[in-house]
Amino acid sequence: MKYLPSRRALVAVGAASVLALAACGGGDDEGSAGSGESAAPAASKLVVIITPSPDNVFFKAEQDAAAAQAKKLGYETLVLSHDDDPTKQSQQFDTAISRKAAAIILDNAGADASVTAIQRAKDANIPTFLIDREINKTGVAVAQIVSNNAQGAGLGGQEFAKLMGNKGEYAELTGKPTDTNAGVRSKGYHGILDQYPDLKMVAQQSANWDQAEALQKTQTILQAHPNIKGIIAGNDTMALGAWAAVQAAKKDIVVVGFDGSPDVVSSIQKKAIKATVLQPASKIAEMAVDQADAYIKAGGKTDQPEKQSIDCVLVNPDNADSVKNFAVEGS
């Protein structure tokens, strides 16, 4: 006669199995890499989102928008931050590949340094959709969806020139040299500013997108060039650092940024920093997820071009009250 386990025994065994699965890393993956690949969702249900540090509200907005859109479309998400470290990013791509991700949404850690990792994912039949920053190669990522940095820098340059009265000494704070956006924005600024012979750039330094570094660099610049009337920055984080140095020096200096971050929008409302250029971060992240979903459902086909650019919007006291979460309401 065969022994038949009791209902209570079966329940106990089932509970033990659930506990064992949890110990292996089962559950919601959002926000951490995890270590239990065996508990990964099916290949068609995991979207891996990789960006720079969410300590910067711009990248936090990207993460939140991409994750929310992916979940809305029925995917599970794994949200990671590479902190602008290509080695860490490469390891995160290995995680995505081992988890058999359906797609990767990436704000990359270097225009050249990221290519190998993206190619590795492509070789594993995992498509990558880039947001915010381009790479220096086509045909590797499925899409590169970025703000129109040249157009945005043109807007910022025009506003800065107007605020300066088209004359006077100024300084420029640029971003990371490895980030294509840094060069594109600087070139866009100068496409406008260099047209004014009475505008004289007396200092140009990289602050690597960093607020503390921008504060220190601006302090040094102000000591060396006490007659500066304006500072134009490649992003809002550096603009905030520059503004802190200006305040400490008790000077009346025009500061203009680029991003449309909540802190700078608030500063504009308080008549401190004068203007910024808003990048539609959330919109771009959502677009990338939508295109990834369409690509997956079409069996690896897309009707979109690889290179896509979304226009930026100037933010100044005229419209700052209508800006929310990297978007101008009603636009």
DSSP string, 208-221: TT-HHHHHHHHHHH
Q: Is residue 31 part of a domain?
A: no
Same domain, 57 and 138: yes
Bigger pLDDT: 137 or 10?
137
> Where are any strands of DSSP class E within the chain?
46-51, 76-81, 103-106, 128-131, 143-147, 168-174, 199-206, 230-233, 254-256, 276-278, 307-310, 313-315
The pLDDT assigned to 39 comes to: 37
Residue 187, in any domain of the structure = yes
Quick one: 269 and 238 in the same domain? Answer: yes
Strand-pair category, 313-315 with 276-278: antiparallel
Same domain, yes or no, for 274 and 286? no
Look up residue 166 and give its two tokens.
């088209």
Confidence of residue 14 (pLDDT cuts 50, 70, 90): very low
Domain interval for residue 75: 46-147+281-310
Q: Are residues 229 and 292 in the same domain?
A: no
Is 173 in the same domain as 234? yes
Whether residue 165 is found in the same domain as residue 228 = yes
pLDDT the model gives residue 194? 98
pLDDT at 22: 34
Residues 137, 134: Cα–Cα separation, whole Å: 8
Predicted TM-score of the model (pTM): 0.79
Residue 89 sits in the same domain as residue 121: yes
Report how many domains make up the chain: 2
Residue 196 inside a domain? The answer is: yes
Residues 193 and 222 both lie in one domain = yes
Q: Answer yes or no: is 23 within a domain.
A: no
* Residue 327 confidence class, pLDDT cut points 50, 70, 90: confident
Could you give the C-alpha distances from 154 to 17, 133, 208, 242, in angstroms and in order? 60, 18, 21, 21
> Mean pLDDT throughout 145-165?
98
For residue 213, being part of any structural domain is answered with: yes
